[in-house]
Structures are given as C-alpha cells and as structure tokens.
A and B are shown apart, each in its own frame.
Chain A
C-alpha cells in the first residue's frame, strides 16, 4: 500500500531578470516562501531534491538555509530537472521513507539562445561549428512539418503568443507583463521560420520550491492540500523526432510526451477529459499547439479551430498556460517545470487572482519537454 502525497506549501522567486541576485539565492528565497506558505521551518524538512542547470549545485544552499543534516540530493536532468526533483520527492513520500520534504529548482542563464555544450550532449564539434547546435532550429522544423501535415496557420501560432502575454500581464511573478497583439507577434523578427521573435520564450532566471507531505498529515500544514495524483518522466524511444539530433530514423514514434502523458493518466486513474486546465511546455508557440494533441487533449489539427475560437483562454473550455507559460515567464531550466505545478496549485486553491480559472477547477495537468528528448507530466487534484 503506497502513501498518498499532497503539496502543502509553495514558494517562488519572480521569474525574469533580477540583477545582483544569484540563481542560488533565488532558489533560497523560493524555499523560504514555501516554508512560510506551509507554516513550517527549514528545520522541519526531512529531505530535499533540487537542481539547476547553470546556477550551481542545489545542495550547497543548505549553508544559506541552515545546516540541519537533512538528506539533500542534487538532480540534473536537462529540461526535466524540476520535474525529476518533484518525481523523486513524490516517490520518497509515497514509499513511506519520509513524511515531509521539498523539491526545489532554480536557474540563471546568459542572454540569448542557449549555448549548447556539444560535447556534453554527445555531439561532435563539427555539429556546432556547422551551425546546427541550436535548439531553436528544431522547434522551427518540428512545427513547420506539423503545419504542413495538419493545416495549422501562422495566425494560430501568433494567437498562442498573444494569449501568453495577456495571461502574463495578470501574473505578478511573470517576466513579460505587457500584452502583445497578434499583429505585433507576426511582424516581429523571423528567428527560425516559421517562428518569429515573440513566438519564442527566452532563457531567464527564477526559482520555485514545493513542499510535499503525506496526504494524511497534510492538514497539519494547510487547509487546502492539493494532491499529487501522478508524476512521470519519460525519455525518447527509437524513431521520435527530438531536439539536437544529427539524424532521425525513417520510422516514426510519437515521442516521450505521448508516453509520459499516457503513463500519468493511468497512474492517476483519470483521462484528458477529466482535466480542468493545463500548463503545457511552450518553448515556442508551436510547441503549445503540438503538445495539446500529444498530451491527449485533442486530435492533431483540431488546435486550429480550438485556438481561433478562444477555447484555451482562461475563460475558455480548456484553459492552457494560465500564468503565461514559458513565453511570458522565460525559461530558467531548473525551475521551469516546477513553475507549472506552482501555478496549478494556485489555481486549485482558488488563489490565482486576476487570472483565476472560473468555475472552481478541481484537476490540473502539467507537461514539460526538453533536450535531449525528455518529458515530465504531473496531475494534481483537490
């Protein structure tokens, strides 16, 4: 018999650019805020999982938070670092080893597109030298093929960005808080055809911490526990089309998102129709479109109608990326997946303020995707 798990405290450091505050310090601030939210102190933490890609080893933050001797394990898993920290924390409680612990992710990246470490990614120097080591190219190529196959329009890509910045404008923690019109999105610089500047998120900064407890003890910390019904991470299978791939197979596999999504729904005993809202990886606007179908929320091609009709707006049938997503928040790799869960906890508690999804949502879904072909999914319920 496994133990149920609840999220009893959440903390975040503002996303964006915070001059003079290190990535690690942003993680520490997120931890302090999460402890305050749960009404606990750092000394109460029995274990921690944490990670960043570019801002240092997470376990060194104990020298700032307090040397309590807790079990602290660093997690480094590319874009799924936050998701992997959460997965590990979830299973640590489920297995009965500990009752209360924390998952933390933070980061601080240099400006501009990610500089890919070709050696660290198992790629030859020639790959980067030849101008192929850019994650942005993959996103342009994947959505270009998808538009060709399923009839998605440029206008729909722009509407995804327009929605993200409109939602971001209602989120005090977001980086980009100025609405940008569909026309402005379409007319911004073409970075990687068919994707323009305002269709891409930017590497950024931020930190998020989530405190998890045994569900039967959650009432000690909060009167609004949010239950973690599933946390899944999957890597790619043969034939999937992934970022930073010098070649891909002729045969096609649907990819790690489809696998992670199916596994998560099975674990939760729920299906896509049971979800009230979702945060889906939107590294660029095309990714949000494709991930709606890959996660099972529609058939391929149906996004064109759904997005044009406003169904994924906060007041729509199925709200997606209510906090502005990566597009409005930027992407501090270590924290990005945890940001999605943070937003869903706010939405399920009814604490999302101006961007609160109406009609008292009861279930929420998160999905993160990244290099080198990895996906993480969580399902939350009240």
Chain B
C-alpha cells in the first residue's frame, strides 16, 4: 500500500528522518509552526522556512478518549473500534512547543518532562487505497 502524507508542506515526506516544517522570523529569530508569514512576536512581515528539531520534552498531554467528529477527523470514528490516542505539546529546545498526536495513550506511561521523538504514523486509508500518514511524537525508549 502506498503511503501519502495528510498534507504537503507540514512535514518532510518521504524521509528516513522526517522533520516538521516551520518558519523563522528574519527580524527577531522567533520560530513558528506551521509555516506562516508575519511574526506574532515582533510584528515583522518577513519569515523564512526552517526544518524543526525532531526531539524534545513533553510539556503537557491529554488522551483523546472519544471519537472526534468526522469531518474534519480522517481517522477511525467507529465507537466499536476507535482507539484512544494521546495528544500533547512537545517542547523543542530553542524553538517552540509543538502540538501533536502521541503514540502513547496510557496515562500511566505519559509523564511531563519525558523525552519524545517525532515519528510518522498511519491515520486512515484514502479513496484510492493509499495509507494516509501524519506526524506524531513517541516516547524515546
């Protein structure tokens, strides 16, 4: 089955070590994600594209315990088969905090401050039979 990204321009794909694509303000150096024009920190209008770090620490988290509404959600919403998934903010040193799915959904195994690494995970299957993938962060073993 072919793999396709949930969107272009948010993370590098295909890649052996995928990275999120963000912006950096050329005036003040502030990082932004996803790519955007205009800096919310210094109000500067010029930004440049930058690849973000792949590792960071878990700043906070929750567990999505019920199927989201579809649309917009593309994943499994069948209450019989839906699996809860983790969601958190991962702090990338010197850059910013990224909101992301987490590969871990067990509250006992999620701890604020734990080391995390970016991965690509399957999300759904599209009309052409391709596997749609998105980004997530996984605890570093």
Neighbour of A132 across the interface among B22, B65, B69, B99, CB < 8 A: B99
Interface residues of B in 74-104 (CB under 8 A from A): 74-75, 85, 87-89, 91, 94-101
B32 on interface, CB distance cutoff 8 Å: yes
**A residues in contact with B88, CB < 8 Å:** 141
B19-37 contact mask (Cβ, 8 Å, vs A): 1 or 0:
0001000000010111000
**B residues in contact with A127, CB < 8 Å:** 72
Interface residues of A in 194-213 (CB under 8 A from B): 194-195
Q: Give the CA-CA distance A140 to B22 in the complex, in Å.
A: 26
CB closest chain-A residue, reference B136: A130
Given contacts A113-B69, A118-B72, A246-B99, contact A131 B64 (CB under 8 A): yes
A-B contact count (CB 8 A): 126
Q: Is B134 touching A126 in the complex (CB atoms < 8 A)?
A: yes
A249 on interface, CB distance cutoff 8 Å: yes
Q: Is B63 touching A190 in the complex (CB atoms < 8 A)?
A: yes
Given contacts A129-B123, A131-B73, A249-B41, contact A189 B7 (CB under 8 A): no
Q: Is B62 touching A248 in the complex (CB atoms < 8 A)?
A: no
Q: Give the CA-CA distance A250 to B30 in the complex, in Å.
A: 10
Q: Is B99 touching A191 in the complex (CB atoms < 8 A)?
A: no
Q: Give the CA-CA distance A382 to B1 in the complex, in Å.
A: 70
B110-141 contact mask (Cβ, 8 Å, vs A): 1 or 0:
00100000000001100000001011000000
Smallest CB separation, A86 vs chain B (Å): 28
Q: Which 10 A-B pairs have the closest CB atoms?
A: A128-B72, A140-B62, A126-B7, A145-B60, A129-B74, A247-B33, A193-B63, A130-B134, A141-B60, A126-B6
| 21 pairs from A and B in contact (CB 8 Å cutoff) | A113-B66, A115-B72, A128-B71, A129-B7, A129-B75, A129-B124, A132-B99, A144-B61, A145-B60, A148-B112, A189-B66, A192-B62, A192-B63, A193-B62, A193-B65, A238-B41, A245-B99, A246-B33, A247-B22, A247-B33, A249-B30
